[in-house]
């Protein structure tokens, strides 16, 4: 998934994991940014580099979770 697709899915209320269900993309923070968070440990990193486009992960490792 590209950054724009990930952001759109999160904004639509879909769950977007990264690599496995233990890591999830969320939106929040002081500047309303997108983050990849380890749901067990609570550690987060930004979804993209400062350019807002280059992912901090491989596009193929992001997916929409289906319950």
Domain extent at residue 23: 3-61
Q: For residues 1-23, give the mean pLDDT.
A: 96
Per-residue CA distances from 15 to 22, 51, 62 (Å): 11, 24, 10
Contact 21, 65 (CB under 8 A): yes
Q: Is the pLDDT at 67 greater than 80, yes or no?
A: no
Has residue 11 been placed in a domain?
yes
Residue 31 has a pLDDT of 85
Residue 52 has a pLDDT of 85
Mean of per-residue pLDDT scores for the chain: 94
Has residue 43 been placed in a domain?
yes
pTM of the model: 0.91
Q: Is the pLDDT at 30 greater than 80, yes or no?
A: yes
Count of domains forming the chain: 1
Sign of the torsion angle spanned by Cα atoms 53, 57, 63, 64: negative
Q: Is the pLDDT at 9 greater than 90, yes or no?
A: yes
Has residue 67 been placed in a domain?
no
């Amino acid at each position: 998934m590209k950054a724009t697709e990930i952001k759109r899915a999160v904004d639509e209320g879909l769950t977007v994991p990264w690599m496995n269900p233990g890591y999830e993309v969320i939106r929040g923070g002081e500047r309303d940014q997108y983050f990849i968070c380890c749901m067990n440990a609570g550690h987060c990193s930004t979804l993209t580099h400062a350019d807002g486009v280059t992912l901090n992960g491989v596009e193929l490792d992001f997916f929409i979770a289906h319950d």
